[in-house]
Amino acid sequence: MSHLSNMILKGDSSIAIQKIYNYFGGKPFTYKKIMRKIPMFKRALITSMRETKVIRLVNRNKRAIGITKKNPSLWIFTTEALFVLQKMYGDNNE
């Protein structure tokens, strides 16, 4: 099983990932929006999700650089992660 599948299917992080998927689905989201919806979310989870290719930046950069309040980093689930999530949880965004 891939690291991506392990992260989505197992552990506490999988619950956070499922909640993010339920709220945002295939739409872009920011760390601040996640924190409003899921107060228990930890910033380190964004790094883990990026490293395991669960999410990526909308601008396709590897890292979030030059973050400002006017220009926050926008994240989106990777195609691979969306496939695993949709298969696992069904499409909850309808």
Q: Tell me yes or no: is domain 3-60+67-89 CATH 4.10.780.10.
A: no
Q: Which of 9, 51, 16, 47 is nearest to 34 (CA)?
A: 16
Q: What is the pLDDT of residue 11?
A: 83
Domain residues of the chain, as ranges? Answer: 3-60+67-89
Q: Which of 24, 33, 11, 42 is nearest to 82 (CA)?
A: 24
Tens-place pLDDT, residues 43-57: 899 989 999 999 999
State which amino acid sits at residue 47: T
19-44: average pLDDT = 90
Mean of pLDDT over the chain = 85
Q: Which of 56, 58, 44, 46 is nearest to 81 (CA)?
A: 56
